Amino acid sequence: MKNSILAIVMFCVFNLTFFEKSNAQSAELIGGNLLNGALTGSALSLAVMGLNNEGSFRTLQIGLGAGLLAGTGMAIYDVASLPPGQQFFISGIFNDGQNSSIIVLLDTAYGAALGMAVGTAVILIANKSLVKGVQYGASTGAWIGFGVGLVDSFVIAERNRDFISSGIFDKNSILSFDVGTRSEINLLSPGIAITKDLKVNSLTTNLHPVLNVISVNKTF
């Protein structure tokens, strides 16, 4: 009876801990994506104002609202694609992060910085207004960086599932232990057994899939 009660208590504690960690991870993903979305939307609205050479507060309002909506969509996507019990991680071309929107935000910032540098260089060569060069260069670069960020985050970047899958398919066995220099013990590793059947007029080779319970690999 005591053992049964103890088992029930341990089961409840484990599940409460798991759900608490899962909820905390979801809240972190939602909060991070909302914040990054708001910052990206605001940056892009400033870029629009720079390209149009105007300072309407309404444009900033629209950008902030659109950024929050985009951040909400990214948060839903991240939470839905997160493997159970895993910490969310994404690795893009230039950056790593813990939500999808951070890749877009940083690429937008990099685009604005690069555009500012190119715009400044062009204006200096042309001997025109430096302020205009910075303004139009940064604004154009921000939008280009935003486009690159979307492709980076949702097409190119590797996420948790990619890392987990590669880890599974790169393994030669279920369990592997290093036991010294260039030595390895594998448990439950798949393999192929080759048998030869010699007859009077022919030699037949047969291949059979096998499961090796234990095997030792040594590299010289």
**Average pLDDT of adjacent 10-residue blocks, the chain of 220 residues:** 42 37 69 91 92 86 92 88 76 85 92 92 83 89 94 85 50 55 64 70 70 64
Q: What is the pLDDT of residue 34?
A: 92
Return the pLDDT at 212: 67
Residues 6+ apart with CB under 8 A from 84: 22
For position 188, what pLDDT does the model report? 58
| Cβ proximity of 41 and 65 under 8 Å | yes
The H or E element containing residue 146 is helix 130-151
Q: What is the pLDDT of residue 88?
A: 81
pTM: 0.62
Tokens linked to 217: 């690999």
CB atoms within 10 A of CB 38: 21
Residue 162, classed as helix, strand or coil, is helix
